[in-house]
Amino acid sequence: MTFCFGRELSCEFENWMRSISGLGVERLCLSFICGSVSVPRDPFSDRSLETLSLTAVLLASGQLEGILSSCFNLEQLTLKLCNLPYKLRFSSTVTYVTFHICGGVKEIDFQAANLRALDFHCFDNVRFIFSFVPKLENVTIHPSKADTMSYIFGDFARDLPAHVKSLAVRCGHEIKCIPIDMKMFRNIRQLSLSLFDLYDSDILNISLLLGACPLLQYLNLTAPQVEKKSTKQRGSREPPLSPMCHTKLKEVTLGGFYGSTSEIEVALFILRSALTLERMFLIPGYISPHRGNLATNVSFSDRERYSIQRELHGQAISREAVVIFYK
């Protein structure tokens, strides 16, 4: 059920919600498209409610905690364009949580025994405290500030529980400080990185991150750079990346790939170190955050494809490895 209220109807909201609570509603979407509106402190009290989506809602301190405590069977929560208090204490039965461009919040303490997936996309860098999340396995984070790399591989990575198995990161700017002793990534099986506005040489630092993920099975790396060297200008190579063994890595996708010097080095590094690699996908296109999330329409020319194939041919340590070019 989806509702939309204007400010003039906010006084009736509590009565309406009490009526809805008696209907056994399982999925409720509230969208205040006429502008952000405050809701009563305890508008929800429904044992049937399993999915709740709030858009453009003003939540005062303690209000979200009250909503969560009154919805005993809530499994999925989505907050979009909401104004949140400075600190949140997230204690609930919720399994899946999404924060999408919410403002105000600076610290979230998760004490959620059933939480399995967290999707966080906000403009501000938020401190996450994972006090009790024994089932958390999938984390997606899309920060938007300029210093996101130091945040992701600094405070966020330091506090990420070691049992998280799938991490998806989307951010931009240079890859600078990636600590090589990141124990919090040691159980990651699936890693998706969408990194934008990089320089060609920055992508080489990805090898440090792979070294911190010994159980990694699936890697999806999209890293279109702002400055690339043509495939014709490979006379001055960077020193080759140090080889290491990856015994679990099965599938790798490299998006925004054009065959620059550093991109070839990363591809060779993976081919030479992944003992069980089955497929490597090379994709010149990518999803651009500056074009409404539309796929950039590019493809390999025959000359580029031949040049890249010549560089990578016969370099895989795995006998099962196949390099696949996507248009």
Residue 53 scores a pLDDT above 60: yes
221 or 177: which leads in pLDDT: 221
Is there a domain that residue 32 lies in?
no
290-311 average pLDDT score: 72
| pLDDT (0 to 100) of residue 231 | 41
Average pLDDT for the chain: 78
pLDDT of residue 317: 92
Of 41-45, 57-61, 234-238, give the lowest mean pLDDT range. Answer: 234-238
Name the more confident of 226 and 189.
Answer: 189
**Quick check: 84 pLDDT over 80?**
yes
Range of the domain at 265: 137-327
Write the pLDDT tens digit of every residue in 122-150: 777 888 899 999 999 999 888 766 556 66
Write the pLDDT tens digit of every residue in 227-238: 544 443 444 444
Query: Is it the case that residue 94 has pLDDT exceeding 90?
Result: yes
User: Is position 223 within any domain?
Assistant: yes
263 domain-assigned: yes
Task: State what percent of residues in the chain have pLDDT above 90.
Answer: 27
Domain presence at residue 55: no
- State the CATH number of the domain containing residue 161: 3.80.10
In a domain, 111, yes or no: no
pLDDT given for residue 239 in this prediction: 46
pLDDT confidence band for 292 (50 / 70 / 90) = very low
| Residue 182 domain flag | yes
Q: Is 121 a member of any domain?
A: no
| Total domains, the chain | 1
Per-residue H/E/C for the chain? CEECCCHHHHHHHHHHHHHHHCCCCCEEEEECCCCCEECCCCCCCCCCCCEEEEECEECCCCHHHHHHHHCCCCCEEEEECCECCCEEEECCCCCEEEEECCECCCEEEEECCCCCEEEEECCCCCEEEEEECCCCCEEEECCCCCCHHHHHHHHHHHHCCCCCCEEEEEEECCCCCCCCCCHHHCCCCEEEEEEECEEHHHHHHHHHHHHCCCCCCEEEEECCEEECCCCCCCCCCCCCCCCCCECCCCEEEEECCCCCHHHHHHHHHHHHHECCCCEEEEECCCECCCCCCCECCCCCCHHHHHHHHHHHCCCCCCCCCEEEECC
| Mean pLDDT across 202-211 | 71
User: Which has the higher per-residue pLDDT, 210 or 190?
Assistant: 190
Tell me if 70 is assigned to some domain. no
